Amino acid sequence: MCLIASMVLAGCLGPSSASWGTGSGAVSVDFSMESTTVKTTLAGEGSTIGDLIPVGCTPGSDGGTLAAGTGGAITFTGYLASSQFYDTHDPVMGPKGLELGVTTAVAIQSMSFDQAASVVDGDGARIDVKQWSSPLQPETGAGSVNLEKVDSESDTDWFVLGLIPTTEDILSGMKALGEWHQPVVVHGYLVSAENASNNQYGYQADWHKADNDCSMTIGTTNRQDTLVLVSRITLQDATVSANGEADDEWVQGDVPFLGRAGFILFFLAGGIGGAVGLFVVSKQMMMKSAKQSMRVLIGEEGMKKAASVKTDAKAAKAAGMESPAQRQKRKEREREALNKKEAKTSTPPKKAPKKEKAEDALGGFDLDSVLASTPTGRPTASAPSMRKSSVVATESAQEMDRMSVEEATPSSLPASIGQPRRSAPPNAGATNPPKQEGRKPPVRRKAVKKAKPTEQQAPKVESESTTAQYEEDEDFSDFSF
């Protein structure tokens, strides 16, 4: 899955290179045939190399004429074997002078464009680069070609070029050189400088020669090392121009034949369509396997009955019959619709009226005022004297309270006094003297006859006087205290 997802990024990734401008890790070139200035910060601190004069070529019958400040671009044609991009330069062990403005270095085997395009993949030169810190002095090792050992006896000719972009579009298009083993044509100018220390690999009239079509030639050493102000790059299927407006302009992320839009559509059609197709095929295989297992379990007769059940179900559905599940769903829908209809038609319950105040229910009787008023009668004996009460006690209620208090009060009379009287004569109790000295002598009590319910008031008064008499006698007859 990760491999398939990474296909979306095909052609969108590229090598890291310098940026255009005056910031950190950037380069900018003010190019003109009269005078060119290169500003670079690839080595850390900013460096400016000025007073540079491009060297152009004028085609001729006896070879192209190279001259500073005139002519057109010189071409370097061949098979791109290796390349190196720079976003920084080592300020101590790295290049010096104009080489600080190099953003890309390439190793190109010199041959015609058609010959380079006809090289079969895998048959071209392979270079094993160990280190390429200096643009024009690569350190190579094992491979089909070792650039450090190329000399006059070698069978192949090589260009080792340090490329300096003349525009921002050229700088962006140089990333196309990150794809090796392809035919390429680099169009540009050699560099002539008044200060030779700034241009160690600049134009040398006795060394650099061009053909009639201004293609650079290689001397007897079979290797040409030089710095180039690049104005154009030609690839097999695209072009990198100075203004970026060529009809076949190379664009990073472009896919040959299909293009970026075609590649995305192909990925969507192939990826999503393939996933859907695999799902359908896998589902069919699972159904086929399930049928085979079912045939083994229930046999051919069971399969026929199952098929007939399916056919009967379809016929019943076509006839308007419904299954129990469908019937249940229908009833539930009808019930819900009926409930909604009843909820809409039913009137909302009325709110219960608030209770009226107590004074309204009692006809103007104010209970708080009554409780706060002073009583008109005497308070009962059991009620506190300082407490206000709204309850008036009658004379009968007061008398009953008084009698309850007297009965509850402990008496100092002997225990026999409190017992009910017997019918024995009064002197019968005197014949039996008390066994203990501290026992109280018996006291005579007058018999009290019970009155009728209508005459209850008189016995109460007599009982009260009798009780008082008992209390007076007790005070003078009990010496136990």
Q: What is the pLDDT along the chain (481 residues), one digit of tens a residue?
A: 555 555 555 555 567 888 999 888 899 999 999 999 999 999 888 889 988 999 999 998 888 999 999 999 999 999 999 999 999 998 888 888 889 999 999 999 999 999 999 998 888 889 989 999 999 999 998 788 999 888 888 889 999 999 999 999 999 999 999 989 999 999 999 998 665 555 567 788 788 899 999 999 998 889 999 999 999 999 998 999 999 888 888 887 666 666 667 777 777 777 788 888 888 999 999 988 988 888 888 888 888 887 787 787 778 777 777 777 888 888 888 888 888 888 888 766 665 555 544 444 455 555 666 565 555 444 444 444 444 555 666 777 778 878 877 666 555 544 444 444 444 444 444 444 444 444 455 555 544 454 444 444 444 444 444 444 444 455 555 555 4
What pLDDT is stored for residue 389 in this prediction? 52
Q: How far from the centroid of its chain's Cα atoms is residue 242's Cα?
A: 45
What pLDDT is stored for residue 338 in this prediction? 87
- Residue whose entry in the numeric block shows the structure tokens 């298009």: 173
Cross-strand bridge partners of residue 210: 64, 216
Residues 6 or more apart from 298 whose CB is under 8 A from it?
306
What pLDDT is stored for residue 4 in this prediction? 53
What pLDDT is stored for residue 232 in this prediction? 95
State in Å, rounded, how far the first CA of the chain is from the last one.
Answer: 117
What pLDDT is stored for residue 368 in this prediction? 62
Please give the torsion angle defined by the CA atoms of residues 295, 296, 297 and 299, in that order, rounded to the nearest 10 degrees: 60
What pLDDT is stored for residue 433 in this prediction? 45
What pLDDT is stored for residue 479 in this prediction? 53
- Please give the structure tokens belonging to residue 309: 């059940």
Please enumerate, as own/partner, the contacts of 22-31 that have beta carbons within 8 Å and a separation of 24 or more.
22/46, 25/87, 25/88, 27/101, 27/103, 27/164, 27/165, 27/171, 29/101, 29/164, 29/165, 29/166, 29/167, 29/229, 31/166, 31/167, 31/229, 31/231
User: With a threshold of 0.75, does the pTM exceed it?
Assistant: no
What pLDDT is stored for residue 403 in this prediction? 81
Q: Report the candidate in 219, 217, 232, 123 with the shortest Cα–Cα distance to residue 174.
A: 232
Question: Pairing relation of β-strands 104-110 and 129-131?
Answer: unpaired
What pLDDT is stored for residue 393 in this prediction? 66
Q: In terms of residues, how long is the chain?
A: 481
